[in-house]
Structures are given as structure tokens and as C-alpha cells.
Amino acid sequence: MTDRTLTVTSRTHPSGTTVLTVTGELDHHTAPRLSRVLDETPFGPGAPAVIDLSELVYCDSTGITVLITAYHRAQARDSRLFLTGVGPDLMRVFRVVGLDQIFTFQPTVEHAANAARP
């Protein structure tokens, strides 16, 4: 079959934070999978979310669009959203396009879960 692989898993951290783990290549073909999971993610004032990108090996402009959509949704519902495990190359792209100013980053899911505690 094709080489386009992306898995997105959703779990609830003991702290109550929703953790989406994104593994593989986030691109034009696979981004809808993350979009679908985000659609089902219960963003809200008491429902923080983490998108863990530590296993992401590739991200293109469509992938970035989906991450921005997640940011918009979290903002609209007064929910806290964290990105974790962002590698140096993706962080470099975030800096070039100014997204480092809007996303909240944490090194790991545990750090994010702690930061999300009320």
C-alpha cells in the first residue's frame, strides 16, 4: 500500500487533560485524520488538551493548518492547548512563520499536564 502513515491516538491523562499523540507524517493526505480526532476532542474551560508531536517525523503546510485550527478551537472554547515534543526543525518553521508566538509549548506530556492543572 502507500507510504502515507499517520496515527493519532486520543487518551485522557490522569489529570483530566486530553492527550492526542500524533505519530508519523502529517501532510496533505493524512491531516484529515488529525482533524477528525480534533473534532471529537472536548475542548472547554475545564478541558485542556495536549497535542504530542514527539513522534512526528514530517509536517507540511496542511499539517500546520490543522494545528492552527486546533488553536482556534481551543481559543473559541476558552480551553488551554499545549504542543509537546516539538522537534528543532518544526520549531524552526514555527519561528519563521510566527507561530511560536501563539502556541504554548511544553517539553513533555507530563510537563503539559502539570501546567494545565488549575
Residues of the shown chain interacting with another protein in the complex, contacts defined by CB under 8 A: 1-4, 25, 27-29, 31-32, 35, 56-65, 68-69, 72, 75, 87, 89-90, 92-93, 95-99, 101-102
Residue ranges of alpha helices (H) inside 1-118 are: 31-39, 61-76, 88-96, 109-116
- Give the residue with the Cβ less far from another protein, 15 or 60: 60
What are the angstrom distances between the C-alpha of 24 and each of 28, 32, 34, 95, 97? 13, 14, 11, 22, 22
Based on CB atoms, which residue is closest to another protein, 85 or 113? Answer: 85
Considering the complex, state which of residue 44 and residue 97 has its C-beta at the smaller distance from another protein.
97
Residue with cell 481551543: 74
Q: Considering the complex, what minimum distance in angstroms separates the CB of residue 77 from another protein? A: 14
